[in-house]
Amino acid sequence: MQTDRIATPFGRRPMTLALVKAQFESASIRKHKSADKWKIYRDACDARTLLGLRDRALAVLNALLSFYPETDLTEGANLIVFPSNAQLSARANGIAGTTLRENLALLVEAGLIHRNDSPNGKRYARKGRDGAIETAFGFNLAPLLARSEELAIMAQRVADENQRLKVVKEKITIERRDIRKLISAAIEEGASGDWQRVEEQFIAVVSRLRNARAVGDLTALLEELSLLREGVVNILEAQVLSAKSDANGIEIRQHIQNSNTESLNELEPSSRTEPGRKPSQAPKRQGEPIKSFPLGMVVRACPQISDYAPGGRIDQWRDMMAAAVVVRSMLGVSPSAYQQACEIMGPENAAVVIACILERGGHINSAGGYLRDLTARAERGEFSLGPMLMALMRGAASAQGKSA
């Protein structure tokens, strides 16, 4: 006897126990919780691969949210929307009826919305004498509010994974470029060795790159390319060292050096004179690492961040960074801007900056732009957390003195 599915009327898909559990969780939303529906939607879009959603499903979710009149989803409010399929189709770029129903089912299975069916399966609302909605049947948006923090963390995970993928691809490009130059130099100079076999190995690895998508697969191919490059370099260096007086050996060494130098120049900023730049100008100075501060001091200076931490308190840096991801989404800071801040400042310091921005929210028009500006200053060595934290602590002390 099956116990994991419950039959439902009107020909709808069976309801799994996982969906029942999700409905229970969405019914226990934290009291007075509120979140911007479009920020939640953007996080869901960023996390669509983890949610198993396609673009059409997200277009339908966008259409559903457009029928909710308020910008914020708030606990205790009526979060049920009841558009007809024709209205939904019109706002979802004319999506066909069959496709619309399929994607609505995907959103339900992903746990982003719930069905709140009427006795006859129709969607409608019943209003009282004062015009307020008393009962509504349609799609419940409460799961989005219940999972807002989870979706923000998932979006950040996808951003981190994409960044790792980008770094690995860049390293693969550099390795391919260097190996090609080294093999070409060896063949042109007549260096001894089975260069045909080395060429075949190189082509075999490169051909497998076409089907590699995951970070793990690309990392394995990067390791193969690195080993191949080291082997080529070792062969050429051994020949150069064994024939110091041989002109061919000297030329091969020059080719090796030129290959490595060119690949590095292509990867790093050029120090050669550029148009509009004076020869005497030096490249930008790299900033020193930002000084870290004790966690207790940060929490005293930025007490609001604790409200967004797991369990409502911050006991370790992991709690601080988890809360920062949630606040990052709430403030409208993009995953890429926060990822860049983590790379330049370090993940702990980036989380502290988010906490400081939260404290000063009323004085900052664009949290994302402000974070990018601080990140750029940190990269130039022109930013320190100390003055920001000290100012917040002085402000807190002043407020306490007035209240006393």
Who has greater pLDDT, 263 or 29? 29
* 3-state DSSP assignment of residue 140: strand
Mean local confidence (pLDDT), 54-73: 93
Who has greater pLDDT, 138 or 189? 138
**Residue 34 φ then ψ, to 5°:** -145, 145
268 DSSP 8-state letter: S
Could you tell me if residue 321 is left (phi over 0), alpha (psi between -120 and 50 degrees) or otherwise beta? alpha
- Residue 121 pLDDT > 80: no
Q: Who contacts 74 (Cβ-Cβ below 8 Å, separation ≥6)?
A: 32, 33, 34, 145
What gap in Å lies between CA 41 and CA 91, rounded to an integer? 16
Pick from 110, 115, 161, 122: which is nearest to 141 by CA? 115
84 DSSP 8-state letter: -
Q: Given this model, what pLDDT does residue 260 score?
A: 45
What gap in Å lies between CA 249 and CA 238, rounded to an integer? 10
Q: Given this model, what pLDDT does residue 134 score?
A: 66
HEC letters along 92-103: CCCCCHHHHHHH
**Residue 33 φ then ψ, to 5°:** -65, 140
Q: Are 106 and 64 in contact (CB under 8 A)?
A: no
Q: Are 354 and 324 in contact (CB under 8 A)?
A: yes
- Residue 12 pLDDT > 70: no
Lookup result for tokens 């306490």: 400
State both tokens at 356: 């400081």
Q: Work out the mean pLDDT of the chain and round it to a whole number.
A: 79
What gap in Å lies between CA 370 and CA 401, rounded to an integer? 30
Mean local confidence (pLDDT), 176-186: 86
Mean local confidence (pLDDT), 26-41: 85
174 DSSP 8-state letter: H
* 3-state DSSP assignment of residue 116: strand
The whole-model pTM stands at 0.63
Q: Are 371 and 278 in contact (CB under 8 A)?
A: no
pLDDT level of residue 341 (50, 70, 90 thresholds): very high
260-319 residue pLDDT tens: 444 333 333 333 333 444 443 433 444 556 777 888 888 988 999 999 888 888 999 989
* 3-state DSSP assignment of residue 243: coil
206-246 residue pLDDT tens: 888 888 888 888 988 888 888 888 888 887 777 665 654 44
Q: Are 47 and 160 in contact (CB under 8 A)?
A: no
Pick from 148, 170, 176: which is nearest to 75 by CA? 148
Q: Given this model, what pLDDT does residue 354 score?
A: 94
Query: Which segments of 93-246 are extended strands (E)?
Result: 114-116, 124-127, 133-140
State both tokens at 260: 């490595």
What gap in Å lies between CA 183 and CA 201, rounded to an integer? 12
Residue 124's beta-bridge partner residues? 137
376-389 residue pLDDT tens: 999 988 888 888 88
Pick from 240, 223, 232: which is nearest to 198 by CA? 232
* Helix or strand holding residue 238 (H, E): helix 215-242
Q: Who contacts 326 (Cβ-Cβ below 8 Å, separation ≥6)?
A: 148, 149, 152, 153, 308
What gap in Å lies between CA 344 and CA 380, rounded to an integer? 10
139-159 residue pLDDT tens: 999 999 999 999 999 999 999
